[in-house]
Chain A
Amino acid sequence: MESVLSLGLALLLAPLFPGLILKVKALFAGKKGPPLLIKYWTLIKLLRKGSVYSTSTTFVFRLAPLVGCAAAIAVLLFFPFAGMAPVVSFHGDVIVLFYLLGLGRFFTIAAALDTGSPFEGMGAAREAFFGTLAEAAVFAVLILFFRLNGSLSLGGYFTGSQPISITGSQGALLILAVVALFMLLLAENSRVPVDDPATHLELTMIHEVMILDHSGPDLALIELGAFYKLFLYAALIADLLKPAGLAGPLANILFFYGMMAVVYLAIGVIESVTARLRMDMVPKYILTSFALVFFAIILTLEIA
């Protein structure tokens, strides 16, 4: 029951946090910024619209938003929010869930190629390439967690008697993991410095360009899927930063969402103080996160 409630809360709150990023960016630019609930309004607006389909697209194009959003929700089923037991958990679920995200990405790419537009093909190529590199880094993180905790499920990482936490005995290694995960979060969720969610310039886009042809409820599903994906990465970091011995579910939840807000604020700050990377520097950036985690893994070997 507790798990289902915490999942429901997460699903409900996920669109709130991107509004926070916009607010921070606006403050840096000396503007008032949109209301905090802007993303909810955007979703409602999109859901009330009709969809336009190009005659050159097939069922793949219509399927992709659904699969993408469903995959993102399915992944959250495995997530132990605020130290609560996840709704679903089994040995090795981490591998399943990252490939569920991979499935969503596959369909987004397939839909982009389905439109036959040269832009979308270009965006798809970039997404596939950078996604492949990011996968290496993600799995390095999983290897690190396995070495620290011996578990192969998300629930096992953050619940139970020996949760992975920065305040734990091997917290120093986790600083590297937190930094790497934050870099991955920016890369995997098309944020600055890898992608620019606010740009209108098709040639520079990665993720945005692939969804140019989607409209109405389809676009709403894609947006929602993106919110959940970002929420997942941020929640991973928030759980890592959670001290081990917090008493009571309320304290846990408050701390968790407080940490989430900090992560999103950090995204907003990063997006305000850095420019985007040149496209050919992105692989270097992603591999840097891989190198950080890999270094942490080597250190665990030392400890063992």
Chain B
Amino acid sequence: MDSPLRIGNGEAVPRSRIPRIDFPRFLRMLTDFVHCNGYIVQFFAYAEGERMRLLAVLRNSDLHVVETEVERDFPSLTLMGGTKFHLFEREIAEQYGLRPNGHPWLKMVRYHANATGLPDVFGNDYRVDIPGNYDYYRVEGEAVHEVGVGPVHAGIIEPGHFRFQCAGEEVLHLEIQLGYQHRGVERLLTSVPQRRWPVLCESIAGDTAIGHNLCCCQAIEALAGLEVEPGARTVRTMALELERLANHIGDLGALSGDVAFNPPAAYFGRIRGEFLNLLLELSGNRFGKSLVRPGGVTQVAGAEQRRAIRSKIDELRKELAQVCDLLFSAHTVLARFEYTGTVKRSTADRLGLVGPCGRASGLEYDVREFFPTERYGELPANTNWATNGDVYSRAMVRRDEIMHSLDLVERLLAMPEEAYRPVLPAEHKLAPASFVVTLNEGWRGEVSHCLLTDHNGAPLRYKVKDPSFHNWTGLAMALRNQAISDFPLCNKSFNLSYCGFDL
């Protein structure tokens, strides 16, 4: 019986050790794997010379990697293995022009020409500006009407197109089309000097600067064999938690603003700013940019910074508890949050949702607990009790995680101070013909980067996956049979990244 290679999070392995099996066995293995409580972390194509390969990183309680070689097309795994594969396969088709035969809904992901020069799978002409060369799914009927929202919205938010099929106020189907911010991050990463990688990764999704950059730096460290000092790891962990705090708090504020409950929206907005300022204290940038670099951190947090963070957290903890109580005890708010936009556990499981959205539906997956990096191995995990999969649960998970993260930051501050030196930008020699996958629990969920090097140690393929990649389909499912007027609320409760998805 074939078995995939078991690997660790952020562990570099020679690519020769990755089992390369023929496609029928690959298909059977992956199908069996996802049917036995397995999930997909990464599934992408890469080309080496003339050869096209598909590589899959899988997870259950461990991480596994396996690959196969394909020609121009291959039988769809979505057809056999289920929806966990659907978006990955569409991405493969778009990026490399490889057709998954029998894919139930083969549709472009980001609307761009493929990298291989093979004929376009979707028959698109990319000289046309608008990703409109596509028939949206339509529901027919006298009472059915179609509402298209975006890509330009009334508020200052990222561009995305939402196509609703409605019967009156009820949404029968929501189709989400993204790609308006596609910048070609993955291909850019393999074509610029290594020093610029962290800078680019900090810009994949501006609100997940630490999360994405941490993945990138851990990948470089693994391949270059760099050791990170424990003190620097403490600071990185703290930065990731502060990023989570700022964003979760902002989300709760936005949720209460969406149901027109203004006071908490204003208070949370202010408190979010305070946490961004703590990141400023740590790194000199409110989004923590230029803090994490391969080998450690660029700024040493002295006693003064630690004191400032500690006293601010003491002060904000009380305020946060009060504002959370204000929000979660208002019955008019609860009437809006409860039973709205429910994603059942079975649906969440079939789609492989990650992060707070997955946990709100009862999927107990947290990278910090399952595949700990940095200092997470020494820190306690969070437990959330609200698992109904509705807006209320997603809000509640955030509330729990805010309190948990405050604890984590306090624990990190209480750790004995270990001296460490700031790192300077440098080019590191990467191990040749190697592979590494890194995972971190960003505030939206599992952020993952894969880096493959060729026999010279040059990057062959850099694959980025934002948690939004898993969760956008969850939002579409949450809207089934919901009132269309509840869409903004559901959307905010997921708060997914457009640019993190578009890459």
**A: which residues have CB within 8 A of B?**
25, 28-31, 118-119, 121-122, 192-193, 196, 198-204, 212, 271-281
Query: B332–A204 contact, CB under 8 A?
Result: no
Given the known interface contacts A31-B266, A203-B487, the answer about A192 and B336 at a Cβ–Cβ threshold of 8 Å is: no
Contact check, A272 vs B262: say whether CB atoms are below 8 A apart: yes
* Ranked 9 nearest A-B pairs via Cβ: A29-B266, A200-B155, A275-B259, A201-B488, A196-B260, A275-B332, A275-B261, A279-B485, A276-B260
- Choose among B155, B265, B266, B332 the residue that contacts A201 (Cβ–Cβ < 8 A): B155
Determine which of A121, A203, A272, A276 lies in contact with B149 in the assembled complex, contact meaning CB atoms within 8 Å: A203
Residue B283, interface by CB 8 Å: no
Q: Does the CB pair A30–B484 fall under 8 Å?
A: no
Interface-lining segment among B113-121, B140-148, B192-200, B306-314: B140-148
Q: Which residues of B contact A118 (CB under 8 A)?
A: 145-148
Which residue numbers of B lie inside 8 Å of A, CB to CB?
145-149, 153-155, 169, 256, 258-263, 265-267, 270, 330, 332-333, 335-336, 340, 483-489
A275 touches B256 (CB 8 A): yes
Cα A7 to Cα B260 in complex, Å, equals 34
- CB neighbours (8 Å) of A275 from chain B are 256, 259-261, 330, 332-333, 335-336
Q: A118-B145, A278-B336 are in contact. Are A199 and B260 (CB under 8 A)?
A: yes
Task: Please state if B260 and A29 are interface contacts (CB–CB under 8 Å).
Answer: no
In Å, the complex CA distance between A280 and B171 comes to: 13
A25 touches B484 (CB 8 A): no
Number of A-B contacts (CB under 8 A): 90
Give every chain A residue within 8 A of B270 (Cβ-Cβ): 30
Q: Which of A212, A274, A279 contacts B332 (CB 8 A)?
A: A274
Interfacial chain B residues near A122, Cβ < 8 Å: 147, 484
- Cα A122 to Cα B487 with chains together (Å): 14
Give chain B nearest CB distance to A99 CB in angstroms: 27
Chain A hits for B146, CB < 8 A: 118
Taken together as a complex, chains A and B put the C-alpha atoms of A32 and B490 apart, in Å, by: 31
Please determine whether A204 and B485 come into contact, CB atoms closer than 8 angstroms. yes
Q: Which residue of B lies closest to A30 (CB)?
A: B266
Interface centre among B148, B256, B333, B335 (most CB of A within 10 A): B335
11 new A-B contacts, CB < 8 A, other than A204-B486, A277-B332, A278-B335, are: A118-B148, A122-B147, A122-B484, A193-B260, A201-B155, A203-B149, A273-B263, A275-B335, A276-B259, A278-B485, A279-B483
- Residue among A198, A275, A276, A280 with max Cβ neighbours from chain B (10 Å): A275
CB-nearest residue of chain B to A29: B266
**Residues in B whose Cβ lies below 8 Å from that of A279:** 169, 483, 485-486
- Chain A: minimal CB distance from B265 (Å): 7
B448 to chain A, nearest CB (A): 32
Contacts of B155 in A (CB 8 A): 200-201
